[in-house]
Amino acid sequence: MNHNLLIALFSIVPLGIGVHLWQKGIRLIRNGKKAEGIVFKNNYKGSINNKTGLYFPVVRFLTEKQEWITQELDIGQYPALEEGKKIRLIYNQENPEEVGIDSVFRLEILPRILVVVGIILLTLGLLGYLDVIELNFNNSIKLL
């Protein structure tokens, strides 16, 4: 398969994740309630060879309606957050299981970075596939 087409197809991953996280961040910022929670545990999700992976924090917090929620966050990280650590959270009051760390970076900046990376990769892959540019992985990109 053409490597340009592979780049274009691969771009769907950061683009899709970025769009999902961006929409979730907007919902939480507009309709969310803030709460203090704790890191209950960390779930490790590794790659196929288990040499690389991320820790997905499982947080526990109390809603305004005095309901305890325990939920795994959808953004992993390395290293793991310290278990028992207090953490600022924001949750959807209509669906408290939709929760995130109350952080401008996680709710707004990271999703936008992923979308931009996805768009750049998609553009480069499609332009290379259409022979508008040549992607030379040894040197650089050049226009044809």
**Which DSSP symbol is given to 132?**
S
User: Has residue 141 got a pLDDT over 90?
Assistant: no
pTM: 0.79
pLDDT of residue 47: 73
Instruction: Establish how many alpha carbons lie within 13 A of residue 80's alpha carbon, considering only the half-sphere containing its beta carbon.
Output: 18
The Cα 123–Cα 100 span in angstroms is 31
Question: What mean pLDDT do residues 65-79 have?
Answer: 94
The Cα 38–Cα 107 span in angstroms is 19
% of the chain with per-residue pLDDT over 70: 91
Residue 47 belongs to what domain range?
3-143
Beta bridge partners, 135, equal 141
pLDDT tens figures, 17-67: 999 999 999 999 998 999 999 999 999 998 767 678 999 999 999 999 999
Number of domains the chain contains: 1
The tokens 């203090």 sit on which residue?
36
Give the pLDDT band (50/70/90) at residue 84.
very high
